[in-house]
Structure 1
Amino acid sequence: MPSKRLSVVVTRRLPEVVETRLTELFDVRLRDDDTPMTRAEIVAAVKEADVLVPTLSDTIDASLIAQAGERLRLIANYGAGFDHIDVETARQRGILVSNTPGVVTEDTADIVLSLILAVTRRLPEGLGAMQSGDWSGWAPTAFLGGRLGGRRLGILGMGRIGMAVARRARAFGMQIHYHNRRRLRPEVEEQVEATWWESLDQMVARMDIISVNCPHTPSTFHLLNSRRLKLLKPSAVVVNTSRGEVIDEAALTRILKAGEIAGAGLDVYEQGSQLNPELRNQPNVVLLPHMGSATEEGRVEMGEKVIINIKTFADGHRPPDQVVPSML
């Protein structure tokens, strides 16, 4: 007799091809509409399911995990980030956690360069003028921005995405600098002619553009705090596509409003979808709705990784993308 299929609960709508494949392989419960599950719905799910497939919009904390039933043995996260999941508590309960690393690298790096260009070349201002009908024709001094060639880009976190950003920036003629907990191997640095800074303070003070590409951990919370933000040059630009908590958003808002830096491009926010209202309508700020990974190809690949993680677990093996304590 065939073994009983795993009970899988998915907390958000996923690409149709992913949902179809999940249905073929498992006893899956899908969402009817593209809205987050309530906490009560997730609690009910973890009481009955073998596998939970959450997304970054779900908070899987210790109190929720404590209510999980005996059947729950895998949290197969749809996404690379896992700071919304209490991995340590899950481990103590014997529940494995997996994620989908590497899928969004190129897509996120594209958005980083898009934000850099949008801020430095004042693209939203130009777009606004065209949409409002205020443009009266070309003028030598209108919408003057700055070229990227020759600018110093400081990458905070030179992992997969940081390296992908560096490759793109080099193609624009930018000078690559980075700060990491550990220096990269010389042959890796040579690929993008990167300069390592052991001191984040010293790097921040000398860069034209800062790109935040590190994960959110206890050690990176408010890594760009008020003191460090004040080290930036008046002509500097800050771009964040990683996690909002890495920047003290209130401090960033203050220096932007005061004109102490040239601008910012943000795709993530400290309070999730609760955007600081004072960031809106700033002419030197470009805001995106967390769309760094928003490509059809990327979202399908994320789903494929989720399926592989669950299928491998169902076959009695550890998921290939298991999150382990050393990653925290």
Structure 2
Amino acid sequence: MSSGRLSVVVTRRLPAPVENRLAELFDVTLNEDDKPLSRAALASAMRSADVLVPTLSDRIDAALIAQAGDSLKLIANYGAGVDHIDVQTARQHGILVSNTPGVSADDTADMAMALILGVARRIPEGLALMQSGGWEGWSPSALLGGRLSGRRLGILGMGRIGQAVARRAAAFNMQIHYHNRRRLRPEIEEALEATYWESLDQMVARMDVLSINCPHTPSTFHLMNARRLKLMKPEAVIVNTSRGEVIDENALTRMLRAGEIAGAGLDVYEHGAEVNPRLRELKNVVLLPHMGSATVEGRIEMGEKVIVNIKTFQDGHRPPDQVVPAML
């Protein structure tokens, strides 16, 4: 610690107002070129810093945490998901972990609805036709999609984002169904006009649209595996704005190619930026580059939460958004 100020290392570029405020409060090291840090660079940062501010592109596993210096006491993650951090091992080494929950719920829910609309109404195909100059005028049989009104939407994971998706889908007159680790309180369920399914298999088999909104944990890895994907109706659509690892991407790709699932809208992928090349070839798939939470407002709010977590820790208190293994 220098001059009584915490040493803070930030692994990626953050919005200018966030970086400026971090520089005012702490001895901060920023990533000027915004390229993901190598494993060696991450290890070096963890040996020297009091606080590390990583993002989901930084995999902080047990081996990396074992190399941390005695000064590292807080990993203040920039983002809500912490599946890239070994929280249990960090805790064993006396390192706290915090995140930025609740900030991107509305932004991600907006994107989920955009993907549902994009797939159901074949918007990317229409866009590609216009950009290619191939449109020759209106036709009653061209680019026919499906109506959302009256369709059954199944939401897998009814946390903040899932509930935000439900509210938006209700405005499209969709029927709301959900499966969650815990059933919602009756008053919330009633307000959302949502039907709870204890059996995920039974829900999946009856939905027209399935929205993935649960976090990635050991228990949700490949939750939508080949067996469960085969339960979906051939005319159904699946959308994922959560984590790619929740879906068996190879199985999904095979079924989309075979016409066993009508379409998919994906903002996240099982292997990060290494997207299955066969997915890119399919017209019934909408692919986005993990931009569900990418709004200026959301990114700044995330940064503000990081700063509050660090400042509260510096003042000798528990960070308001501390993550403990029992929460995962």
- TM bucket (normalised to shorter chain) is over 0.9
CA-to-aligned-CA distance 1:87-131 (integer Å, 9 cap, x gap): 000000000000000000000000000000000000001001000
Match of 2:153, SS? strand
CA-to-aligned-CA distance 1:225-248 (integer Å, 9 cap, x gap): 000100110110000000001000
Aligned to 2:226: 226
After TM superposition, list the pairs within 5 Å mapping 1:247-262 onto structure 2: 247-262=247-262
- Identical-residue share of aligned pairs (%): 77
Which runs of structure 1 show a deviation greater than 2 angstroms over 4 or more consecutive aligned residues?
A: none
Question: Mind listing any 5+ residue stretches in structure 1 that lack a counterpart?
Answer: none
After TM superposition, list the pairs within 5 Å mapping 1:127-276 onto structure 2: 127-276=127-276
CA distance in 1, matches of 2:100, 2:181: 23
CA distance in 2, matches of 1:257, 1:325: 39
Aligned to 2:118: 118
Q: After the TM superposition, which of the residue ranges 184-193 and 243-252 deviates more from structure 2? A: 184-193
Amino acid at match of 1:131: Q
TM superposition shift of 1:185: 1.2
What TM-score do the two structures reach when normalised by structure 1? Answer: 0.99
After TM superposition, list the pairs within 5 Å mapping 1:280-291 onto structure 2: 280-291=280-291
CA-to-aligned-CA distance 1:281-318 (integer Å, 9 cap, x gap): 20000000000000000000000000000000011111
TM superposition shift of 1:3: 6.1
Match of 1:108, SS? helix
Q: After the TM superposition, which of the residue ranges 67-76 and 179-188 deviates more from structure 2? A: 179-188
Amino acid at match of 2:22: L
What TM-score do the two structures reach when normalised by structure 2? Answer: 0.99
Q: After the TM superposition, which of the residue ranges 12-21 and 181-190 deviates more from structure 2? A: 181-190
Amino acid at match of 2:306: V
TM superposition shift of 1:139: 0.5
TM superposition shift of 1:324: 1.2
CA distance in 2, matches of 1:181, 1:40: 38
Aligned to 2:293: 293
Question: Mind listing any 5+ residue stretches in structure 2 that lack a counterpart?
Answer: none
CA-to-aligned-CA distance 1:24-73 (integer Å, 9 cap, x gap): 00000001112111111110111110000000000000000000000000
* Superposed CA RMSD: 0.8
